């Protein structure tokens, strides 16, 4: 490996590390839900607001990120993003109210565009033969960040339960959730300093007529013989883009015209199905989801850690196999497997029962100094909603939220193995298929003239659906119950499967022009004189 290739890898690794920060920021909140809810006495919708605030913030960021990247450069945009991550993490740790915490996490959401900016930067510095692997590092870093968040939450929870003077001195027992959110500060600061070491994008420099600077940067990534050729290609590509790129309204009109209708339907279906099947409800509320199985808080945090490891394993497998097996098999079979897994969860929860024995009630009431719970004696509930509502009426909402994990562990009678297999099966299927493959498809199915409008638009659609799923999951859990939530996710997956099975072509080893021809909705129409 020569010095130029090493430098490409160094810059790509530094930029892709933003994916790790994203995954960490997104998943750390999962371990804090129970603590934050108790400390600030939050309602279901307020809990949803805390978790989904970054998803709301990114909707605004997506509208201006392109302008910042073009005006000030990709590297400057990444530096701004890294500072926002630090500001958000520090403000979250110091939050003294629900409103401040939501605001702090909203600021973090403004930084979530790190994924698209990182992909843009790496795509512009990497040689063609390395581009796919280097861009794929972003997705791998995301799931590693998610896994690291679950691991950090689990370890902090375990430490917070230790009876040691240093635990009390550091406030780990009383400020557990603040320590969880504070984990992000260290890697975010490291990323900020590392970003200072990378150069500007040569393509951005050419776009701004800074040719000599672009040449200097290219010498860091390519041999002397390759620099002149690459510079000519960049100049030609920039000129071609300026010539063929349509205005936003022209691009939208072309996208939904008869010729591109099939591509638009694929983009619409992928953007919605990727999120509406509940991936972020499970990833961002993982301990809460597993508490519904009756595992208890500690075991629920441990299962969340397993979710992270499964995510890493199957994302790596997808990246390695997407060019060998093809896009269509991964999406179709993965979506089918994920839908079946969600139906398994629905079936198991629909047959669950909930009952507290006299011994359990007596023990719990004595342990937590709670008044008589005789109304719960030997009463079997077939619905988690009925059970929770009855408990809240007996011991109060705040006490229920504080001890929900323990109460669900005592009362739940459910096929836990089926649910665990179903959840892990869905996580594996998602990260092996529609998770990473959606972005590959987006880069292939839209012609260059509308790509600049189409990809951000469908990415925005996916972000909106993701925000809604995160915001309303706690409310759905309280009003729909676990069984109906998983049924909704499963039906959504089944609808997406039918649509994509009918219209999605294979794009492996095809040029953009060949894919465009395959997706031309007018090519099979016979004109009638």
Give the per-residue pLDDT at 401: 78
Give the per-residue pLDDT at 529: 34
Percent of the chain with pLDDT over 70: 90
Integer Cα distance of 476 and 2 in angstroms: 55
Average pLDDT over the chain, rounded to an integer: 84
In the DSSP assignment, the letter for residue 356 is: B
Residues 228, 230, 231, CA angle at the centre, nearest 5°? 65
| HSE (side-chain half, CA atoms, 13 Å) at 86 | 14
CA distances in angstroms from 19 to 25, 78, 138, 263, 405, listed in the order given:
10, 12, 5, 28, 31
Mean pLDDT is highest, among 128-142, 239-253, 469-483, for: 469-483
Please name which of 189, 156, 186 lies closest in space to residue 173, comparing C-alpha atoms. Answer: 156
CA distances in angstroms from 62 to 57, 68, 142, 150, 461, listed in the order given:
9, 10, 19, 27, 11
Confidence of residue 240 (pLDDT cuts 50, 70, 90): low
CA distances in angstroms from 213 to 105, 223, 231, 236, listed in the order given:
37, 16, 11, 17
Please name which of 152, 212, 144, 151 lies closest in space to residue 180, comparing C-alpha atoms. Answer: 152
Give the per-residue pLDDT at 456: 74
Query: Which token pair is 147?
Result: 């896994």
Quick check: do 1-198 and 253-352+415-522 share a fold?
Answer: yes
* Domain 1-198 architecture: Up-down Bundle (1.20)
DSSP strands (E only) in 134-180? none
Q: Decide: helix, strand or coil at residue 377.
A: strand
Give the per-residue pLDDT at 277: 93
- Residue 476 region, left (φ>0) first, then alpha (ψ -120 to 50), else beta? alpha
- Compute and round to an integer the Cα radius of gyration of the chain: 25
Please name which of 435, 11, 439, 455 lies closest in space to residue 201, comparing C-alpha atoms. Answer: 11
Percent of the chain with pLDDT over 90: 27
Please name which of 257, 247, 269, 259 lies closest in space to residue 450, comparing C-alpha atoms. Answer: 247
Which has more pLDDT, 170 or 302?
170
Give the per-residue pLDDT at 519: 74
Give the per-residue pLDDT at 159: 92
Give the per-residue pLDDT at 348: 92
What are the pLDDT digits (tens) for 174-199?
899 999 999 999 999 999 999 999 99
- What DSSP element (H or E) covers 412? strand 412-413
Which has more pLDDT, 527 or 518?
518
* DSSP letters spanning 505-516: PP-TT--HHHHH
Give the per-residue pLDDT at 528: 37
- Residue 452 region, left (φ>0) first, then alpha (ψ -120 to 50), else beta? alpha
- Which own/partner contact pairs does 482-487 have at CB distance under 8 Å and 24+ positions apart? 482/289, 482/292, 482/345, 482/349, 482/384, 483/346, 483/349, 483/350, 483/352, 483/384, 484/346, 485/278, 485/281, 486/278, 486/342, 486/343, 486/345, 486/346, 486/349, 486/422, 487/343, 487/346, 487/350
In the DSSP assignment, the letter for residue 354 is: E
| Residue reference for tokens 């098999």 | 329
Q: Rounded to 10 degrees, what is the CA torsion of 245, 250, 252, 258?
A: -100
CA distances in angstroms from 447 to 263, 359, 367, 462, listed in the order given:
10, 67, 65, 20
Query: Which token pair is 246?
Result: 């349509």
* Distance in angstroms between the alpha carbons of the first and the last residue of the chain: 63
Phi, psi (5° rounding) for residue 377?
Answer: -60, 125
In the DSSP assignment, the letter for residue 352 is: -
Give the per-residue pLDDT at 301: 81
Phi, psi (5° rounding) for residue 67?
Answer: -65, -45
What are the pLDDT digits (tens) for 339-368?
999 999 999 999 988 888 888 888 887 777
Q: Decide: helix, strand or coil at residue 353.
A: strand
Query: Which token pair is 344?
Result: 């398994």
Q: By CB neighbour count within 10 A (0-12 exposed, 13-18 middle, 19+ buried), where does 138 fall?
A: buried
Confidence of residue 386 (pLDDT cuts 50, 70, 90): confident
- Determine the CATH number of domain 253-352+415-522: 1.20.1250.20
Average of pLDDT values for 460-466? 86
* Separate counts of helices (H) and strands (E) for the chain: 27, 2
Average of pLDDT values for 52-68? 84
Query: Which token pair is 52?
Result: 């989904």
* DSSP letters spanning 24-63: HHHHHGGGTHHHHHHHHT--HHHHHHHHHHHHHHHHHHHH
Average of pLDDT values for 40-63? 87
76-80, 117-121, 260-264, 369-373: least confidently modelled range: 369-373
Confidence of residue 242 (pLDDT cuts 50, 70, 90): low
Average of pLDDT values for 3-28? 88
Please name which of 315, 278, 314, 299 lies closest in space to residue 423, comparing C-alpha atoms. Answer: 278
Integer Cα distance of 180 and 161 in angstroms: 14
The answer for residues whose C-beta is within 8 angstroms of residue 242's C-beta and 6 or more apart is none
Q: Are 198 and 14 in contact (CB under 8 A)?
A: yes
- Per domain, the residue ranges of the chain are 1-198, 253-352+415-522, 353-413
Residue 443: how many other CB atoms lie within 10 Å: 15
């Amino acid at each position: 490996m020569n010095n130029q290739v090493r430098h490409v890898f160094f810059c790509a690794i530094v930029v892709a590390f933003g994916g790790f920060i994203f995954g960490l920021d997104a998943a750390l909140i999962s371990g804090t839900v129970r603590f934050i809810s108790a400390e600030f006495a939050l309602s279901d919708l307020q809990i949803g607001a805390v978790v989904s605030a970054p998803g709301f913030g990114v909707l605004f960021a997506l509208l201006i990120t392109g302008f910042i990247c073009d005006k000030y450069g990709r590297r400057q945009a990444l530096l701004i993003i890294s500072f926002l991550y630090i500001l958000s993490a520090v403000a979250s740790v110091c939050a003294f109210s629900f409103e401040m915490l939501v605001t702090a996490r909203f600021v973090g959401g403004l930084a979530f565009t790190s994924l698209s900016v990182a992909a843009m930067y790496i795509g512009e510095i990497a040689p063609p033969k390395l581009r796919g692997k280097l861009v794929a590092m972003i997705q791998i870093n995301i799931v590693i960040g998610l896994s690291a968040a679950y691991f950090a939450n689990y370890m902090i929870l375990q430490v917070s339960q230790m009876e040691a003077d240093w635990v009390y001195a550091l406030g780990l027992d009383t400020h557990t959730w603040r320590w969880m959110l504070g984990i992000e500060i260290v890697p975010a600061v490291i990323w900020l300093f590392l970003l200072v070491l990378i150069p500007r994008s040569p393509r951005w420099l050419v776009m701004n007529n800074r040719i000599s600077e672009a040449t200097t940067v290219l010498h860091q990534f390519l041999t002397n013989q390759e620099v002149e050729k690459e510079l000519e290609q960049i100049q030609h590509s920039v000129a071609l883009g300026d010539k063929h790129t349509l205005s936003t309204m022209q691009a939208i009109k072309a996208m939904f015209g008869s010729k591109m209708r099939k591509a638009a339907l694929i983009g619409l279906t992928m953007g919605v199905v990727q999120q509406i099947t509940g991936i972020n409800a499970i990833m961002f509320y993982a301990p809460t989801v597993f508490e519904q199985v009756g595992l208890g808080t500690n075991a629920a945090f441990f299962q969340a850690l397993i979710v992270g490891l499964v995510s890493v394993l199957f994302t790596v497998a997808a990246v390695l196999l997407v060019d060998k097996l093809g896009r269509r098999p991964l999406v179709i079979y993965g979506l089918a497997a994920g839908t079946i897994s969600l139906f398994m969860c629905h079936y198991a929860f629909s047959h669950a029962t909930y009952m507290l024995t006299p011994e359990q009630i007596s023990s719990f009431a004595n342990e937590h100094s709670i008044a008589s719970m005789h109304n719960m004696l030997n009463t079997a509930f077939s619905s988690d909603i009925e059970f929770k509502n009855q408990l809240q009426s007996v011991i109060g909402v705040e006490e229920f939220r504080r001890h929900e994990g323990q109460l669900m562990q005592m009362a739940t009678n459910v096929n836990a193995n089926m649910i665990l297999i179903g959840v892990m099966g869905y996580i594996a299927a998602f990260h092996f298929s529609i998770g990473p493959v959606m972005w590959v498809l987006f880069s292939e199915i839209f012609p260059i003239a509308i790509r600049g409008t189409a990809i951000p638009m469908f990415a925005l659609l996916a972000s909106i659906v993701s925000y809604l799923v995160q915001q309303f999951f706690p409310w759905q859990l309280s009003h729909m119950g676990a069984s109906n939530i998983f049924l909704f996710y499963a039906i959504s997956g089944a609808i997406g499967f039918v649509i994509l099975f009918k219209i999605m072509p294979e794009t492996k080893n095809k040029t953009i022009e060949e894919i465009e021809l395959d997706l031309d909705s007018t090519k099979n129409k016979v004109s009638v004189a």
